[in-house]
Homo-oligomer: A and B are copies of this chain.
Amino acid sequence: MRSNAIKSEDWLAELDESGIRVTAIQEMLIDIFAHSEYPLSTEQAWDIARQSRPKTGRATVYRMVEKLENLGLIRRLHGYQGCSHFVPTLPGLMMLFICLDCGRADYLESQPLDHLIQQSEDTSGHHITDSRLQLYGICATCQQGA
């Protein structure tokens, strides 16, 4: 399974550029999301944050998650655990596979999706501005294990 090679520094740079004041909590939350092996819900991220910084407020974490999602740095998983979990975004990769066994997420090459969208736009006449494709199943690793 592809390792999600996210650099916390890149995120911080993007946050900085967006005019958002970068604080210690924000760095911590970025680290938590960027380095988690599994998709995280906001509540889970809050739990983790409080392990090293007990007085972290709940609203703070929700606010940060919203910012990170709006900046496109994390991405919400749909159709899984009530649509409340997030994974780091990988630039240019839109197709996300979620293993129903181990729960890990994996990005797949998405040029074919671009073609599909172009084609759908042409035949339907709709103007497509955004897309969301998620695939579910059993990942290659879990298939071997079983």
Contacts and interface: CB of A to CB of B under 8 A. Distances in A.
Interface stretch (A15-23, A28-36, A46-54, A125-133): A125-133
Interface residues on A, range: 35 or more
Interface of A: 76, 78-79, 83, 95, 97, 99-100, 106, 108-109, 112-113, 115-117, 119-120, 123-140, 143
A137 B132 contact: no
A137 B128 contact: yes
State the number of copies, please. 2
Contact of A131 (B117, B124, B128, B134): B134
Contacts of A135: 117, 120, 126, 128, 130-132
Contacts of A117: 135
